[in-house]
Amino acid sequence: MAGSTPFRKRRSRQPEPTTGPAADASGGPAGAGDDASVERGRKAPLAALVGRGARTVQQGGRGARAALTAVADRIIANAPRIPVRDLATLRVQFPGLGPEELADKLVAGAVYGTSTVGAGIGAAAMLPVPPAMPAELAAEIIGVAAVEFKLIAELHEVYGVPAAGTVRQRAVAYLGAWADERGIDVTSPLTVNAALGGQLRRELRQQVLKRTFRNLPNLAPFMIGATVGAVMNRRDTKRLAEKVRKDLRKRQVPWDAQGPGQDTV
């Protein structure tokens, strides 16, 4: 039939049978290059993910350190502005009390103050996922630090071993006592420049970090955090006061043996 292809020619156009796997352009068996490219394709995203993860961790570490430093700097800036009553003022406000009874009154007031701060921050965290959790924690730590700083300074007044120096020097000394959770040693004064230059800031960052982990349950939703915050702050302030008072009792100076009072911080 005209225009048609003979049967023999149609059969000759079929591909020749092969005796083994076909070679690719690189000379290897077919599919070898594909497997290598697939393997490279798997490794490349994995390496990229690992790199991004490492960068994220590193950036997160820098961010956490910056946050701790910011809170510590705020505590340092606030300390000289916190009004601290000297012994004469305390004895007028609490007449007829001895040193231990007066110290008990100061601790009770501070415990009430820090528990109120904890309850307030916990009440603010009512959403299941509060959007301002870091800000709330920072505000609580700064508020509690102010109350406990005042307590420590006034306990030093009550036990007759107040810090010496200028307002700022004394504030630095009491901040060190708060960070170390102990009474200051007036025989080993620390210069303001040395304290603010490194050691005190490191100690404050460590204390802030410790308080941050302890205060995380305060952010529980549905008012649970308010109760937890009040209880935990009350417990922590009592424990701090006991440590400081234990140190101060060893160095206590009787009231009748003290000289003229110093200016308040």
Q: Is 195 exposed, middle or buried (0-12, 13-18, 19+ CB in 10 A)?
A: buried
Contact present, 151 and 84 (Cβ < 8 Å): no
For residue 24, the Cα-to-chain-centroid distance in whole angstroms is 60
Dihedral pair phi/psi, residue 70, rounded to 5°? -65, -45
Mutual orientation of helices 99-124 and 133-158 as an angle, nearest 10°?
170
Q: What percent helix, strand, coil does the chain show, rounded to 5?
A: 70, 0, 30
* Tokens, residue 179: 């960070």
Cβ–Cβ contacts within 10 Å for residue 61, how many? 10
What does the pLDDT read at residue 42?
52
Query: Which residues in the chain land under pLDDT 50?
Result: 21-23, 25-27, 49-54, 56-61, 123-133, 191-194, 222-223, 261-265
Residue whose C-alpha is closest to residue 118's, from 76, 147, 86 = 147
What does the pLDDT read at residue 25?
45
What does the pLDDT read at residue 70?
85
Contact present, 75 and 81 (Cβ < 8 Å): no
What does the pLDDT read at residue 31?
52
Contact present, 177 and 183 (Cβ < 8 Å): yes
Distance separating alpha carbons of residues 58 and 66, to the nearest angstrom: 12
What does the pLDDT read at residue 229?
65
What does the pLDDT read at residue 135?
74
Distance separating alpha carbons of residues 193 and 169, to the nearest angstrom: 9
* Tokens, residue 94: 């609490």
